[in-house]
A and B are shown apart, each in its own frame.
Chain A
Amino acid sequence: MRNPEQKFEALVPPRESGDMPEKPDEKKEAPLSPEEPYITIGEKSVSFLGVEIPKGEGGRLVPKAEEFKEEYFYLEGHYILMREVATALLFNKPILLEGGTGVYNKTTTIARMCQLLNMNYCKINFDRETAREDVIGGHTLKVDENGKEKLEWYDGDLMYAIRNGGVAFLDEYNRQSKLAGIINPIIDAILNGRKEITNPYNENERVRIHPNFRLVAAQNPPGFEEGHEYTDRSQLPAETFGRWIYRKLPVEYSEEEQNKLLAGIIGEDVEIEITLEDFRGKVPTKEEFDEKVRAYHEKRKQRSSDFIPGEVSTLVHIPGMIHWRKNIIDIVRVLEAKSTGAKREMAKNQRQNLYFNPRLIMSTIPKYIATFYNGDINETVKNAFETCIIGMYSSEEDKQKIRMMLDQASWRPSAAESKRKGPEREAKEQPKEKEEEKAETKETKESREIADKIVNELERLLEEGADKNYVAWGLAGVGTHEAMLMRERLLKEGADKNYVAWGLAGVGTHEAMLMRERLLKGGADKNYVARGLAGVGTHEAMSMRERLLKEGADKNYVALGLAGVGTHEAMSMRERLLEEGADKNDVALGLAGVGTHEAMLMRERLLKEGADKNYVACSLAGVNTEDGFDFRKKFFGDNPAQAAESFETGCSVTDGVICRYGYEG
């Protein structure tokens, strides 16, 4: 058994030294943990992507397992972060993590590592109002055995960890608060490699730094970064910065990552893109790893086949939940963009900043749905927003905007009469709903099959000599990996960048957005890129539209490229484009595929304001709602040609996308 002093000093990378930490007895290995195969919890050690750390000796600051009851799920980034922190712990190097709030749950991840490692964990926030007596310690008045009063020193959590070992997690490290001024001299001494520090608050007591004391810090980037503003953060001086292992993390999750994370949390089977190359130190064999990955997926699949009230990890079994997973993320992203920063459109008159804790999406809202689901997913999600988000806004107008967004995003089951109405009906209709679930999966499978067919067919046509530009165009709406590879190939082989950009219509994946950026850098016409954003209503796409407009893209192209996007944000952009002089006909045409009530009202208004009836008719492509049919009857009932035109689908990429893949909104 190692004593606490030996615990870390003995650590060296397992492959390089004979003085290896004791290997966990593989035969006696702990049962498969939820993190297997990426984190292996042995009896005496824990390995994070192969970086093996012996467990500690405990202490009063070791986080308790029950503190981590929340449903969690780790992405690749979490595991890589843990590996890097584990490496820093192993080599006794301080590590500084810089990234956006909530990205890879830095605080919880480090606390969880300490819990798994049985190590003290002490978090100090430089940003709030805790004081020296909370963190370092102070004096209390005690009465000794002779009845004499005397002052006695007590340790705050940081001093306790310095004396007894453990991880001190310095949050908001680059904030210059009063507390930072008090703690930084102590931290600087530790960073300088001192073995002892002076405690000026206790008669200059010399305190020996425990050999297992480790420093981990986290901060947001100072100033502006990727559209985020972090005020009151200062740049670290070179000499301080140089003492840390600096690890840069993203400022925010991409939409794709958020979707993947929430998908994992609600119980969908999500692929983790970690390979053997990501392991260090103790690398498992390929067979071992593949087997554990299989077991991991098997275990997730076996968790439950039905929704269990209160269980977040079974939410995936509620019909419509996958639809809402995407929309919750989308709506919160839009709200965040609109409600923060100096030029915010919402919460304009509120002096208090509205911060959207990432836990809102990943924890609070799913927990709310799992607990209060009443058989109607739309109503439950709306109630969750009322309780978790709408209350933050003081203006009635803002609240209504959010409610409208939720209405527009509502899930509509394919068979309208099967919409769930309450738990009583739920029991009776279970078999029917099982069918719906199957239909949803079947639909995804079918979409995938269609996409594969299109790519294969286009491959064949290309080989037979089809024009590369038409092939690029024909890929519209297909966002599979194979389709993206084909686009890359077409570009390499000389296809026109503008056609490739236009042919990205309907594809809103992160990969597609990156390709758009690359095409723009490579000289593609802004107007084609704008037009090729049709069918993509993500926050990222909306930001790109705004940027293109600022950089001089034609308003009419941007309006056309809004086809298929019926979100509140897109409707507001249309209004603005009209105000700024965009052609009514192009705005009308760019309403193609959008069947919301708001869109129908806009069509009606455009007609009244003189838009060409033919364009408005064409804008009904892909709109097969009751409202759509009523509109056709009302405005084109006397003109069969226009009425027919309103069903037209094949003349443009935009229409093609909409009719092949439906519309957002």
Chain B
Amino acid sequence: MSAQVQEKTEQLITTTTALGGVGLLIAEHEKSCQAAVEKAREKLFNNNYQECSDYLEIMDVLSEGKDKLFYVERGDKLDGLVLEIIAEFEAGIVSLADRKHNTGLKTARWNPTKTSFIVIMSRKQIEASYPRLFEYINFTGIL
């Protein structure tokens, strides 16, 4: 199973780094979800991806011009502000208030065709998320 996870992650990495865009890795089975996510993280780290823990970190990493980043959803559903970044990913710009440091509006710009952003979620989290989520996802891989 770990080889399969590595292979699927590798495929998504190849596609999103070549074309840019948002890739969604879906941990299909609840039982093996944790292990699959860990394997995928390992693969992403090996490919120089940077992990972001919330929307602000994503915006910071995008603003720095880093072109490989990923986010693992830890809540019950996709965070609304991460969704905003995903939804506007192809526009290459997003402005959101910095709620953590209370420093006002923060704007991040990036090149959507050269930036690979991978989101990892379980099927259960996806089912609970914003109904039109798939409209904003460019590529999907199933772990």
Contacts and interface: CB of A to CB of B under 8 A. Distances in A.
Interface of A: 60, 63-64, 66-67, 69-70, 101, 111, 123, 125, 127-131, 133-134, 137-138, 140-141, 152, 154-157, 350-357, 359, 364, 367-368, 371-372, 387-392, 394
B104 A70 contact: no
A111 B88 CA distance: 12
B134 A352 contact: yes
Contacts of B60: none
Interface string B105-133: 10101011100000000010011011111
B132 A156 contact: no
A392 B24 CA distance: 9
24 contacts: A64-B109, A67-B92, A69-B113, A123-B91, A129-B80, A130-B84, A130-B96, A138-B97, A138-B104, A154-B104, A154-B105, A155-B105, A352-B127, A352-B129, A353-B132, A356-B134, A356-B135, A357-B135, A359-B90, A367-B19, A372-B18, A387-B11, A387-B15, A389-B140
A388 B138 contact: yes
Contacts of A364: 19, 21, 138-139
B142 interface: yes
- Interface-central residue, A130, A156, A357, A391, by most chain B CB under 10 Å: A391
A134 to B, nearest CB: 5
Contact of B131 (A64, A129, A353, A368): A353
B15 A368 contact: yes
A368 B19 contact: yes
Nearest to A391: B140
Contact of A391 (B26, B104, B131, B135): B26
B19 A111 contact: no
B102 A140 contact: yes
B113 to A, nearest CB: 5
B137 to A, nearest CB: 8
Contact of A352 (B84, B105, B133): B133
B105 A134 contact: yes
Nearest to B80: A129
Q: Secondary structure at chain A's binding surface: helix, strand, loop or mixed?
A: mixed
A357 B127 contact: no
B33 interface: no
A138 B95 CA distance: 13
Contacts of A125: 84, 87
Given A111-B91, A355-B133, 4 more contacts: A69-B113, A128-B83, A392-B134, A394-B28
B81 A129 contact: yes
B111 A66 contact: yes
Contact of A67 (B21, B87, B93): B93
A350 B103 CA distance: 40
Given A134-B105, A156-B97, A359-B90, A391 B111 contact: no
A154 B96 CA distance: 12
Contacts of A128: 80, 83-84, 87, 130
A371 B19 contact: yes
Given A70-B113, A350-B127, A134 B97 contact: yes
Interface string B41-82: 000000000000000000000000000000000000000110
A388 B139 contact: yes
Contacts of A357: 134-136
A379 to B, nearest CB: 14
A388 to B, nearest CB: 6
Contacts of A351: 127
A391 B141 contact: yes
A130 B81 CA distance: 7
B40 interface: no
A131 B134 contact: no
Contacts of B109: 64
Contact of A131 (B87, B95, B97, B138): B97
A391 B97 contact: no
A355 B87 contact: no
